[in-house]
Amino acid sequence: MERTHPSVDNLYRLLMGPVATTPEKPAVVQADENGALEETSYRRLDRQVEEYAAVLDGLGLDVGDRVVVEADTSAASVALLLACAKLGLPFVPVSPQSPDARLRSILRSVEPALHARAEGLDHREPTASVGSALFGPSGLVVERPPTRRVRRRRNVLATDTAYIIFTSGSTGTPKGVVMSHRSIVTFLRAMLADGLVAPDDRVAGTSPLQFDFALFGIGVALAAGATLVPVPRANLDSPRRMVGFLKDAEVTQVHGVPSLWRPVLRVDPDLLKELGQLRSVVFAGEEFPIPELRRLQETLPGVRLVNGYGATESMAASFTDVPDPLPADQERLPIGHAHSGAEMTLVGRQGEVLTEPGLTGEIYLHSPSLFTGYWNDPEATAAVLVPDPAEPRHGQVVLRTGDLARLGDHGELYFLGRSDYQVQIRGNRVELGEIEAALTRLPAVTAAAATLVPRAGDHVLMAAVVLDRPEAELDVRAALDFCARELPAYMVPRSIHTVPELPLTENGKVDRASLTRTLAAPR
Ligand SMILES: Nc1ncnc2c1ncn2[C@@H]1O[C@H](COS(=O)(=O)NC(=O)C[C@H](N)c2cccc(Br)c2)[C@@H](O)[C@H]1O
């Protein structure tokens, strides 16, 4: 039974649009269990969506009932996400690598009707009140049906929830970012308008499905009628296997966090010369250390490098081409202007909108693609969806990002860091990002992270650096002298430690909490 009228914005309708025009085109190209590449056409993907939707529809679930999807990105998991979207069942993606505690916390918070996991995965955290199912190319098999519920809704509306993404909760418990069909469809339409992905692109995704960077790749690739190429997680650990896969799959655009490129740049950058068909790289999630970005640009001449900035609360805000070549004295990367459907303004500490080049303030995002709110957390929602400081009387809300930026000469923004990474040291505001940028200017350093380590009731500023070759050595004394010349005294780290690699979160960002624990441990 049709719950979505063609005129109503729905993620399923947008992403399955190409079925009508290019049904035989490959929607997904993935590695099968033997590593061979297999294609799923838009027609076949749509048939898989219909098959899953028929099973889900038979379970008597109501619009708004949640489905936790535990899987990596694949043709099957994409089909399940779209089947949920078609029926108005918010999907909650969780990666199979998520620890049990995180899965348990998400299940408790979101109280799903069904927990569907990709075939081959163990059933973790079984809960009597939650239905369970396995899914794969052969179908969706319900092991335990969801508990009976009353059906109150008839139609899926644009304002209904498409998905709920739980952020890694760097500060405390994970928060559920609730995104409506209208927000995500409006955002993806802006991506189509900006031409980020062309219909003949083959877009490689490398993020876990619980990170909205993965949903971004699925969305822009399918909405554009292009081909999505999920990179198997196992291939990401070895530079040779990752490059080999990208080459074999003839990938033209790669999406990934900056840390994706660190191993190949350190171990064997020349491998990247094999990627003759690569046209563009989109990175997002955190700053790309300048020395590594420079090396990536040198090894991929003519390839467009795009700095994607944004938060899950609006999926993304801006896409800015990395200057080619990167100027030698470039210290911070531009995050430019917002994409065609949004606008970023910079707000000072008194709530005034800043317009003078050179000033620093907090980024506020004006956008029709903002999230509905944090799941079951009206206080946290009210803290970030705030009246527009420029003119509160409209009643329009904007996203308070918590990010700091500097205004450039033409209104473009330069990312400076998160306001909660601004730490107070003896009353001085310290920008950890500024210390890290200085450290990466040291010749042998390829990446750096600064953190405040608790010590004897106070805090000590410490730093960790990764060197550009495994056998390289750091002259710590010279490095500290360099910092003393480049930074105010209170921003010079007490100590600098060389680490083989920076610890990463599940989404591939630098895990500062883990680094702080490591540096706090007695040497
Ligand atoms: N390009 C940058 N330089 C520097 N700092 C960045 C960048 N992109 C983020 N961040 C930081 O990450 C925060 C947000 O984290 S998040 O909610 O997990 N979302 C993300 O990381 C990913 C983000 N949803 C996303 C998803 C798809 C495409 C794009 Br394009 C962006 C931002 O508020 C920033 O502090």
Q: Are 45 and 15 in contact (CB under 8 A)?
A: no
Task: Tell me the β-bridge partners of 364.
Answer: 345, 400
Instruction: Decide: 421 in ligand 1 pocket, CB within 6 A.
Output: no
pLDDT at 224: 98
Task: Tell me the β-bridge partners of 203.
Answer: 228, 253
The complex's ipTM works out to 0.99
For the segment 53-98, what is each residue's pLDDT rounded down to a tens digit? 999 999 999 999 999 999 999 999 999 999 999 999 999 999 999 9
Instruction: Decide: 415 in ligand 1 pocket, CB within 6 A.
Output: yes
Instruction: Decide: 334 in ligand 1 pocket, CB within 6 A.
Output: no
How far apart (Å, rounded) are the C-alpha atoms in residues 410 and 13?
Answer: 38
Instruction: Decide: 242 in ligand 1 pocket, CB within 6 A.
Output: no
For the segment 24-46, what is each residue's pLDDT rounded down to a tens digit? 999 999 999 999 999 999 999 99
Which structure tokens are listed for 63?
């619009």
- Pocket perturbation via mutation, ligand 1, pick of 167, 212, 510, 511 by most ligand atoms within 8 A of CB: 212
For the segment 126-160, what is each residue's pLDDT rounded down to a tens digit? 999 999 999 999 999 999 999 988 899 999 999 99
The residue among 243, 102, 246 whose CA lies nearest residue 175 is 102
pLDDT class of 170 with cuts at 50, 70, 90: low
- Pocket perturbation via mutation, ligand 1, pick of 309, 403, 415 by most ligand atoms within 8 A of CB: 309
Nearest CA to ligand 1 atom 26: 213
Cα 6 to ligand 1 centre (Å): 32
Instruction: Decide: 508 in ligand 1 pocket, CB within 6 A.
Output: no
Of 81 and 428, the one with more pLDDT:
81
Cα 364 to ligand 1 centre (Å): 14
Instruction: Decide: 217 in ligand 1 pocket, CB within 6 A.
Output: no
Instruction: Decide: 287 in ligand 1 pocket, CB within 6 A.
Output: yes
Cα 283 to ligand 1 centre (Å): 9
How far apart (Å, rounded) are the C-alpha atoms in residues 322 and 68?
Answer: 37
Q: What angle do CA 220, 383, 336 make, to 5 degrees?
A: 40
